[in-house]
């Protein structure tokens, strides 16, 4: 049991530090220092020259002892990242399966609790505004505040954003900062290029911190756009913490309901590749503009 606990701590600490380093919040050198300090009393993570880091077996690797139909289990495991065919030790999961579960859970929590980095926003040249939410805790407990901009943000959008465009693009952190940083660098240029090549007038994209889906309605009222699209981080799961959704709506108003929104979800490297999603979203937006409708109303016209 002591060995399992050591392995567990090793995976969780390694996962968290790598996520911080990836987001630019921790340099590799600092990561080494933090790791050394964390392990001072119990050296679980020795230098890689002395011992290899913990690695997980591939998801599709057979972990059931003496399966009745091994080929069927292998085929299922190759078709999904779901935790099937992981075996057990008595009534409990095997150690490696349990460690993978906890490591994936830690990554999912990081995606929710970490913010999109300032360096990323600068690199993508995205203006940043904030919803009416004051902090992360309030964001998680008061979804209603995430559905509208703060007074300062509303003034900024009114003053700096182009009005009366056909399409306004929002980048919204939602419930996964990881989804934004993983997908936007490929998705946004593909979408922008596609819309401009189609002769569609697009406002400059900008970022909304602590935003929910309905914040797009508030922005649409301020900029008077025909279509507004929110590229927003999905609630992370244990399969991936990098999944993004695109919510599109035609001229929302006080009577707008969820059925009025068109949604493309599961955008990430293991689902719809971000560059491919950008090209597809351009086609969907063209349909929305032509039909002057989105969501169920759009589908009824097809």
Mark the binding-site residues for adenosylcob(III)alamin, compressed into ranges: 213, 234
Residues in Cβ contact with 268 at an 8 Å cutoff, skipping those fewer than 6 apart: 179, 182, 183, 240, 242, 243, 244, 274
Q: 262-267 and 244-250: which strand pairing?
A: antiparallel
CB 206 within 8 A of CB 127: yes
Residue whose tokens read 């001229």: 251
What residues have CB less than 8 Å from 31, skipping those under 6 apart?
A: 17, 18, 20, 21
Going by the annotation, the residues of the binding site are 213, 234
Beta pairing, strands 244-250 & 227-233: antiparallel
Residues 6+ apart with CB under 8 A from 30: none
């Amino acid at each position: 049991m002591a060995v399992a606990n050591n392995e567990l701590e090793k995976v969780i600490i390694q996962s968290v530090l790598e996520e911080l380093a990836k987001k630019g919040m921790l340099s590799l050198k600092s990561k080494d220092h933090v790791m050394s300090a964390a392990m001072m009393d119990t050296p679980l993570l020795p230098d890689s020259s002395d011992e290899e880091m913990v690695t997980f077996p591939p998801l599709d690797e057979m972990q059931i002892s003496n399966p009745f139909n091994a080929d069927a289990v292998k085929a299922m495991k190759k078709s999904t990242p779901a935790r099937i065919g992981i075996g057990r030790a008595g009534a409990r999961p095997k150690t490696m399966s349990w460690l993978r579960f906890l490591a994936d859970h830690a990554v999912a929590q990081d995606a929710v609790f970490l913010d999109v980095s300032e360096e990323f926003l600068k690199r993508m040249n995205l203006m940043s505004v904030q919803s009416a939410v004051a902090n992360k805790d309030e964001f998680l407990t008061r979804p209603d505040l995430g559905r509208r901009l703060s007074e300062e943000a509303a003034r900024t959008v009114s003053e700096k954003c182009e009005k009366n465009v056909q399409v306004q693009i929002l980048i919204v952190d939602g419930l996964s900062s990881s989804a934004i940083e993983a997908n936007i660098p490929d998705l946004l240029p593909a979408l922008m290029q596609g819309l401009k090549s189609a002769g569609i007038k697009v406002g400059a994209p900008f970022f909304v911190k602590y935003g929910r889906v309905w914040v797009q309605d508030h922005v649409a009222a301020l900029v008077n756009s025909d279509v507004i699209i929110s590229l927003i981080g999905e609630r992370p799961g244990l399969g991936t913490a990098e999944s993004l959704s695109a919510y599109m709506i035609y001229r929302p108003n006080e009577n707008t309901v969820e059925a009025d929104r068109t949604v493309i979800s599961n955008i990430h490297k293991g689902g719809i590749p971000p560059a491919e999603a950008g090209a597809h979203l351009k086609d969907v937006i063209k349909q929305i503009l032509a039909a002057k409708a989105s969501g169920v109303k759009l589908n009824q016209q097809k």
